[in-house]
Amino acid sequence: MDDIRLLLTVLSVAFSFATSHFLLPKIIATAHRFHWFDPPEDRKIHTGLIPRLGGIAIVSSLAISAIVAPFLASRIMGKNISPFKYMIPNMILVSGGLLIFVVGLIDDFKSISAKKKLAFQIIAALLACAGGAKINFFMVPFIWYKVELGIWAWPITVFWIVAIVNALNMIDGMDGLSGTISGLACLTYGLVFMLQSNYLLSIFCFALLGSIMGFLMYNYPPAQIFMGDSGSMFLGFFLAVIPLAAEPDSGGSLVLPITMLVIPIIDVIAAIIRRGRDRVPFFEPDRSHMHHKLLRMGFDERRILSLVCLFSFFFGLCSVLTYYLSARKGLILIFINWAIGILFFIMLHYLNKFGVKKRKNT
C-alpha cells in the first residue's frame, strides 16, 4: 500500500505540473487572440496587457491529475485504483470549490459586484460545511479546555472560509505572490497530512502543488499571465477547507492554515483597519497592501517574492516540526510564528509611514 501511495503522489505532482505547463501557453495565446486582458489601473502594479485566466490551468490540471494519476497507477501496479475513491472524498465539498471557481472565472471576464461575489462565496462555504468541513470546537491554549461551538459551528466556519478566500484574492496583486504563498502552503499541508497518515488529502495537496508550480513558470516576474479571481478564490477556498476536512473533530484544525497563511491574513486585517479608519468600503481597492509598501521602500518584485518565500518556508518548517514536539512546545512555536508575522507588519507599517513623511519633507 505504501508503494501505491508513493506512486500516486509522484504521478499526481508530475502530471498536474505537466498539464498546467502544457495548458498555459494555449490559454495565453487564446487570451491574446481575443483580447482577454487584465486592464492596467492606478491601483495595479502591471502596465502591460496581461491575461488573467491562469486559474483555468490550475483547476483543470488538478482535476485531470485527480483522474489520470490513479488510472496510470492502476496500470503500473496492476491494481484497480478508483479516482473517485482516492481523490474525491466528498462531492458536496468539491461542488463548493467548483462554484467558487466558476464565480471567479465569470468575474475575470465580466466584473461581478462585491455583494454578489460575497453571496456566492457564502453559498460555497455552506456547501463545504454540508460536506463535513466544519469547525466544531476549539481548545483553549495550554489549559486544553474544550469549547463546543454547537449551532455557531456553521456561521463561524462560513466566516473563516469567506475570510481566507478574500485574503488570498486581495493579496494577489503582484507577480508570483499568491502562487508562491499557496504553493508552499500546499507543500506543508501535504507533508503534515502524510505524517498524520491522511494520505488521501496529502496526495490531493501535492497534486495542487504541481498545478501551481506549472503556473508559476509563467507567473514569475515579469508575468505572462495572472491567476485571476478564478485562481486566487479557488486556492483560498482549498487552503481554508482542506484542513477542516482533514480534522473535522479536532479543535486544532485551524492552527496549520493560520500559520501558513499568516501573511495574507494579517494583510486583510490591516486592510479592514485601514479602510475602517478612512471610512472606505471594505471591497474598495487601494495601494497599501504589503507588496505596495515594500515596493515603495525600494524592493523590486523578485526581492519581495524572496522575502515572502523565506517567511513561508520558515512557517512551513515550524509547522512540520510541531508534529515531533509536545502539544505545549508545538503551540509555543506556532505562537512565535504568528508573533513574527505580526511584528513584520507593524515594522513595515511604521517604516513605510516614516518614508512617506521623509519624502514629503524633502
| Of residues 285 and 279, more confidently modeled | 279
Give the pLDDT score at 147: 84
**Stretch 296-301: mean pLDDT:** 89
Contact by Cβ (8 Å): 73, 4? yes
Q: How does residue 87 score in pLDDT terms, banded at 50, 70 and 90?
A: very low
Q: CA–CA separation, 234 vs 194, rounded Å?
A: 23
Report the Cα–Cα distance between both ends of the chain, in Å, rounded.
68
Contact by Cβ (8 Å): 129, 151? no
Residue 86 has pLDDT above 50, yes or no: no
Residue 111 has pLDDT above 80, yes or no: yes
**DSSP category for residue 50:** B
Give the pLDDT score at 97: 94
Q: CA–CA separation, 55 vs 187, rounded Å?
A: 19
Give the pLDDT score at 251: 57
Residue 248 has pLDDT above 70, yes or no: no
**Stretch 230-253: mean pLDDT:** 85
Please tell me the least confidently modeled range out of 22-31, 90-99, 221-230: 90-99
Give the pLDDT score at 355: 67
Could you read off the pLDDT of 11-65 as tens digits, one per residue?
A: 889 999 999 999 999 999 999 999 898 776 655 665 678 999 999 999 999 998 8
**Stretch 196-212: mean pLDDT:** 89
Contact by Cβ (8 Å): 210, 335? no
Contact by Cβ (8 Å): 168, 101? no
The chain-wide mean pLDDT, for the chain, equals: 87
| Of residues 39 and 289, more confidently modeled | 289
If DSSP codes are grouped into helix, strand and coil, which group holds residue 173? coil
Give the pLDDT score at 354: 76
Residue type, 278: D
User: How many domains, the chain?
Assistant: 1
Residue type, 66: A
Could you read off the pLDDT of 129-138 as tens digits, one per residue?
A: 998 888 888 8
Give the pLDDT score at 73: 64
Give the pLDDT score at 360: 59
Give the pLDDT score at 40: 66
Residue 320 has pLDDT above 50, yes or no: yes
Give the pLDDT score at 359: 57
CA proximity to 108, closest of 61, 52, 57, 163: 52
Residue 83 has pLDDT above 60, yes or no: no
Count of residues making up the chain: 362
Q: Can you give the residue range of the structural domain that contains 321?
A: 2-361
Neighbours of 279 (CB within 10 A): 6
Contact by Cβ (8 Å): 173, 267? no
Residue 82 has pLDDT above 60, yes or no: no
pTM of the model: 0.92
Q: CA–CA separation, 34 vs 189, rounded Å?
A: 38
Partners of 38 in the β-ladder:
50
Could you read off the pLDDT of 5-19 as tens digits, one per residue?
A: 788 788 889 999 999
